[in-house]
Amino acid sequence: MKIVLCIMLFILLLVLLLSGDIEKNPGPSSLYSSDKSTVSSVSDLSFDEFKHCLSKFISFVHLIVQSLEPKLDLINVELQHLDILCFTETWLKPDVLENDVLLDNFVKPFRHDRVDRMGGGVAVYVKSCLSAKRRCDLEVNGVESVWLELKLKQNRPFLLGTFYRPPNSPQHLLNLIEHSFDLASDTGIETIVIVGDFNDDQMNPRQSKMKEIFTRYGMTQFVEEPTNFCENSASIIDLVLSNKLNVVDLVHVGQPFLPANIRFHSPVYGILKFQKSSNTCFKRKIWLYDRGDYDLFRRMLSDVNWNDFIESSNNVDVLVERFSELLIDFASKAIPNKNITVRKTDPPWMNNYIRRTIRKRNRIYKKAKKANSPENWLQFRRSRNKTVNVIRNEKTKFYDKLIGKLRTTMSSTKIWWNLAYRITNLKSRDMNIPPINLNSSIIEDDKQKTEAFNDYFASQSNIDDSNKLLPRDDTLQIDD
């Protein structure tokens, strides 16, 4: 009888497996398993497309940071390659100085701080190469939001709104948000993009007041994967909206890089189909002068027959070119040198060790997404926390090294002050010239900016003599 029962149970299991109603290895229940996938469904191909578009189009991210100031180092490393950074739950107060929350290569943040109680707050950072202005006339009292108007070369301006709606907010707050939407619609600016934490779960099939507002103003919601993860649930509360379907592209939920134990928020990235000027990285040859063999350098210069060298050509330009080539050739043999890649957007403490650590964390994250097991997610959290520590430690080591140089240097006053500026951040590293509005046209390209400045300063030395008479020859007296 027992044998027959075992055979029947075995047959029943086979039927269940073949019917597809049960997974072969379902694994333990966790917050990473639900009716809908709790990780981004964007393919690797789409993410590669996103990275490819970064140099061509405007990119943005929205992230719930839950205290911005202590996490600036991580943000500086992880999000420097993006153009617009939208943060909610900044937890900033008005007494926090702007200089204390600056990011390299970005203008001062556009902030909306909560003043009456803890938490909340909105901040938006815009790359210094973009033209943006605050639209306070669209911000309704009682709503935590920041509205910006951005003007781009060869594109019409567009509005970008960033909102934070606290959980369990009263009903009248929705009316205020709707009023803000209405003000933006009445500006006459065709394209409106809105991001933020609305605390309205889009995975919930019920029709909410928030969804009705989106529909009323013709807004399309682009985020389709969970962005907020709790102990046993996931939700889509970080939203990307626009009234133009063809403007927003490649929206995807990225990996969480901020430290968190169980509850965490994932960044939401996207591309705006507005072209921008490309300021790519470049190669530079650097010389390690402190390791140079200058006796060898002097011997090579002494061995040259300079008389024959000078008589080799009557053209001074040719001689200068040959001398430069000879000098650089000797220097290359006597002074160690190497080619480096200069990335203008990287913070000063960024190095290859940090890049390798980030790449390793990214590989572990992809593996965790694919396996979707508690063990893999635990490994990812450990790797993420290690990356956080590496970034902070490398920054500390970088500035400790500068302080050591400042204490021991016997160099010139200029070098001393340069070190002091770098340590105290009194002098911004952002050397980018902001966009120039020339004859109602926005200039973003560095070369075009240079030509515009050159034309302007050259024109200052031009003398308008179009209505002036030349002096008569008979009035001139020339002494023999």
Q: Is residue 465 part of a domain?
A: no
Query: Total structural domains in the chain?
Result: 3
Whole-number pLDDT of residue 344: 66
Dihedral-angle region of residue 121 (phi above 0 means left; psi in -120 to 50 means alpha; beta otherwise): left
Within this chain, do residues 336 and 203 fall inside the same structural domain, yes or no?
no
72 & 216 share domain = yes
What pLDDT is recorded for position 468?
74
User: What is the pLDDT confidence band of residue 9, given thresholds at 50, 70 and 90?
Assistant: very low
Helix pair angle (171-185, 209-216), 10° resolution: 10
Mean pLDDT of the chain: 81
37 domain-assigned: no
- The predicted pLDDT at position 23 comes to 37
Distance (Å, whole) CA 347 – CA 128 = 15
315 and 383 share a domain? Answer: no
Give pLDDT, residue 152.
79
Q: Say whether pLDDT at 117 is over 80.
A: yes
Considering the domain architecture, whether residues 287 and 268 belong to the same structural domain is answered as: no
Domain containing 413 equals: 352-424
Whether residue 265 lies inside any domain: the answer is: yes
How many angstroms separate the Cα of 9 from the Cα of each of 13, 14, 20, 73, 424?
6, 9, 17, 58, 73
Same domain as 142, residue 96 = yes
**Is 455 within a domain?**
no
> What mean pLDDT do residues 135-150 have?
96
Contact 152, 131 (CB under 8 A): yes
338, 359: one domain: no
Chain segment 379-426, per-residue pLDDT in tens: 888 998 899 999 999 988 888 888 777 777 566 677 777 777 766 665
Over residues 295-318, the mean pLDDT reads 91
Whether the per-residue pLDDT at 440 is higher than 80: the answer is: no
Q: What is the mean pLDDT of residues 188-194?
A: 95
pLDDT of residue 28: 31
DSSP tag of 61: E
Residue 370 pLDDT class (50, 70, 90 cuts): confident
One domain, residues 251 and 369: no
Query: 132 and 77 in one domain?
Result: yes
Task: Note if the pTM is more than 0.85.
Answer: no
* Shared-domain flag, residues 148 and 226: yes
Q: Give the mean pLDDT of 265-284.
A: 82
- CB 361, CB 387: distance < 8 Å: yes
360 phi and psi angles, rounded to 5 deg: -65, -45
Q: Which residue has the higher pLDDT, 194 or 26?
A: 194
Query: What pLDDT does residue 5 have?
Result: 45
pLDDT at 139: 96
Q: Residue 25: pLDDT above 80?
A: no
Structure confidence at residue 427 (pLDDT):
54
Average of pLDDT values for 89-95? 94
Q: Which of 222, 249, 275 is the last residue of a domain?
A: 275
> Could you say which of 406, 424, 442 is where a domain stops?
424
- Residue 176 shares a structural domain with residue 321: no
Lowest mean pLDDT among 41-50, 125-134, 279-288, 401-410: 41-50
**Is residue 189 located within the same domain as residue 334?**
no
Domain-ending residue, one of 376, 398, 424:
424
Q: Please state the rounded mean pLDDT for residues 172-182.
A: 95
Residue 297, domain member (yes or no): yes
Task: Answer yes or no: do 139 and 104 share one domain.
Answer: yes
DSSP 196-255: EE----TTS-SPPHHHHHHHHTTPEE---S--EE-SS-EE--EEEEES-TTTEEEEEE--
**Can you give the CATH number for the domain in which 212 is found?**
3.60.10.10
Residue 436 lies in a domain: no
Domain-located, residue 363? yes
Residue 21 domain-assigned (yes or no): no
